[in-house]
Amino acid sequence: MLKKRIIPKFLVRGGKLVKAVRFFENVREAGNAVSTAKVYDSYGVDEMIFVDIDATPEGRVITGSIIERVSEEVFMPFTVGGGIRELVHIERLLQSGADKVSINSAAIDQPTFVRNAASRFGDQCIVVSVDYREEEGKRTVYGRCGRARTQFDPLTWAQRMQDAHAGEVMLTSIDRDGAMRGYDLELIHALSQKLDIPLIASSGAGSLAHCMEALEAGASAVTISSMFIFTDHSPIKVRSYLASNGVNVRSQKGSRS
């Protein structure tokens, strides 16, 4: 059985870490990207995710210099996202040190982009972020960092991305982002029954129990951001709690150990 993963998720703006609520509200600075990554690397997290939240709205790709600096300091696998719209963007980011890329808007705007990216770089490099809101009892996928509504529901869209050879799907609830009130367990469970590829649950962690609930619902991994930044919970505490409750997680070990 594959081990469940703990993944800190970093939102980047102007080279600094930031944290918001529901993508746009109460945006606060949360430290230096490189130094914070080094700390989590020492904690022995399984992976990290960096997303430049301004890249798509500004029509550019995530800054490669940040990726290079992180890759020089940490040795955990990490995923990067933000403004990726061309295969050459993926090539440059992987050359800069990233292990995977996260794609959202380009998957929506360009029907063949994910398939072409997976064919060129390998399924294992391609993560599709499925961002969604719940409106009038219906879940709807959004692109452009939560600004552009689509006609897709996340369950159907995630399956289409699997068919396009995405290596993983990251399910991100805009409504729960930064709210720390728990993951969307109903959708996680439903989607985990439909996918053969790993499902990353993103948005909602506010307690140790929330993390375990998402993994038990069928997620292969959980991303954690606000809970690490604004509470005293650390990756070490999360891993210990999960292991003590019978969740199959990797033993504690930093990449430099």
Q: How far apart are CA 162 and CA 116, in angstroms?
A: 13
Q: How far apart are CA 101 and CA 80, in angstroms?
A: 5
Contacts of 156 (CB under 8 A, 6+ apart): none
Which residue did the predictor score with more confidence, 133 or 15?
A: 133
Nearest-CA neighbor of 125 among 91, 155, 156, 96?
A: 91
Please tell me the predicted confidence (pLDDT) of residue 84: 96
Nearest-CA neighbor of 225 among 3, 4, 31?
A: 31
Q: How far apart are CA 81 and CA 92, in angstroms?
A: 12
Please tell me the predicted confidence (pLDDT) of residue 257: 47
Please tell me the predicted confidence (pLDDT) of residue 210: 98
Contacts of 197 (CB under 8 A, 6+ apart): 123, 162, 166, 167, 168, 169
Please tell me the predicted confidence (pLDDT) of residue 248: 95
Q: Which fold has domain 5-244?
A: TIM Barrel (3.20.20)
Torsion from C-alpha of 53, 161, 111, 91, nearest 10 degrees: 60
Q: Give 55's pLDDT tier (boundaries 50, 70, 90).
A: confident
Residue with tokens 């505490």: 237
Q: What is the mean pLDDT of residues 194-200?
A: 98
- Give strand pairing partners of 32: 16
Please tell me the predicted confidence (pLDDT) of residue 254: 56
Over the stretch 163-186, which tens digit does the pLDDT of each residue have?
999 999 999 999 999 999 999 999
Domain ranges of the chain: 5-244
> Which of 21-30, 116-125, 192-201 is predicted with the least confidence, judged by mean pLDDT?
21-30
Average pLDDT of the chain to the nearest whole number: 92
Query: Does the predicted TM-score (pTM) go above 0.85?
Result: yes
Q: Highest mean pLDDT: which of 32-46, 48-62, 166-180?
A: 166-180
Q: What is the mean pLDDT of residues 206-234?
A: 96
Please tell me the predicted confidence (pLDDT) of residue 69: 86
Q: What is the mean pLDDT of residues 22-35?
A: 83
Other residues' Cβ atoms within 10 Å of the Cβ of residue 66: 21
- Amino acid at the residue 105: S
Q: How far apart are CA 173 and CA 188, in angstroms?
A: 11
Q: What is the mean pLDDT of residues 152-162?
A: 98
Asked if the model's pLDDT at residue 253 lies above 80, the reply is no
Nearest-CA neighbor of 226 among 70, 25, 14?
A: 25
134-139 contact pairs (CB < 8 A, 24+):
134/173, 134/175, 139/187
Q: What is the mean pLDDT of residues 149-172?
A: 98
Q: What is the mean pLDDT of residues 223-242?
A: 94
Other residues' Cβ atoms within 10 Å of the Cβ of residue 20: 18
- Count of all residues that appear for the chain in the document: 257
Both tokens of 63, joined, read 């800054």
Please tell me the predicted confidence (pLDDT) of residue 131: 97
- Amino acid at the residue 6: I
